[in-house]
Amino acid sequence: MAQVRWPRVMLKLSGEAMAGGRGLGFDVAAIDAIAREVGEAKATGAEIAIMVGGGNIMRGARTAEADRDRSAADSIGMLATVQNGLALQEALERQGHDTRLQSAITMSAVAEPFIRRRAIRHLEKGRIVILSAGTGNPYFSTDTAAALRALEVRAQAVLKATNVDGIYDRDPHKHPDARRYRRLTYDQCIEQRLGVMDLTAFTLCAENDLPVVVFDLGAPGNVRRAVLGEDVGTVVGREP
């Protein structure tokens, strides 16, 4: 077993990642590629839980802006994450991995309910645990759900997969000389207003000393490297 930095991780996958370059819906090739990345990370011996987002199908806050009821829109968003969870489970199982899908909204025909102890047991048995339906409550995000469940299952870090290779002092798409931070403290992120996650999610991590690794999912091998603690993206934690 390779030397892993985080023996149990909570990988946060956005819904957009499931859509490949299309932004909306599913891209089977992109989902297969994510499954391969997860499989490589699993091969290090680390235990892997995944929180899936739903932004490729529905984001509740946007619908609320269009004068729709936020709670209803958020329920649709949470159900969207179950669809993503099922798609990812299918891809992982096809590649020979043992997985379990849990949902924070009871949906026993397609997913187990989220039961903390059961999730931990699955992880201990080497299963990849996919968590869906976020927290099960409206007005939250799957980033917050990732932080919450990471604490509940005692993961050592949240690995936040994004489309930039970490946190920069300026927008790297606009400023070619923007510098990537390799490490940041929670306080530095707050002082410099660096948007790592939404504030609810970020506060939960900071208050409970849960490190967040922000990294680019697009670079092959990055999930594995993040698990191993190699220099990918930016690690946000208490220590500088």
The site for ligand UDP, by CB under 6 A, has a size of 25
Using CA atoms, how far residue 161 sits from 12, 24, 42, 85, in Å, is 6, 17, 16, 16
85 contributes a contact to ligand UDP by CB under 6 A: no
Q: Which two tokens stand for residue 98?
A: 């043992």
Q: Which one of the spans 10-18, 85-93, 153-161, 182-190 is the region binding ligand UDP (CB under 6 A)?
A: 10-18
Binding to ligand UDP by residue 141, rule CB under 6 A?
yes
> Per-residue string for binding with ligand UDP, 40-79, x by CB under 6 A?
-------------xxx--xxxx-----------xx--xx-
The nearest distance, CB 136 to ligand UDP, in angstroms, is: 6
Among 140, 186, 202, 215, binds ligand UDP (CB under 6 A): 140
Per-residue b or e along 134-155, where b marks 16 or more CB atoms closer than 10 Å to that residue's CB: bbbebebbbbbbbbbbbbbbeb
Taking CB under 6 A as the rule, does residue 14 contact ligand UDP? yes
- Token couple for 185: 């403290």
Whether the CB-CB separation of 142 and 197 falls below 8 Å is answered with no
- % helix, strand, coil for the chain, step of 5: 40, 20, 40
Taking CB under 6 A as the criterion, the residue among 34, 50, 145, 213 binding ligand UDP is 145
Q: Which amino acid is at 80?
A: A
Please tell me whether residue 82 binds ligand UDP under the rule CB under 6 A. no
99's enclosing H/E stretch is strand 99-103
208/193 Cα distance (integer angstroms): 20
Any contact of residue 102 with ligand UDP (CB under 6 A)? no
**Local structure of 162: helix, strand or coil:** strand
Closest separation between CB of residue 30 and ligand UDP, Å? 13
| 172 is a contact residue toward ligand UDP (CB under 6 A) | no
Binding site for ligand UDP (CB under 6 A): 14-16, 53-55, 58-61, 73-74, 77-78, 80-81, 134-135, 137-138, 140-143, 145
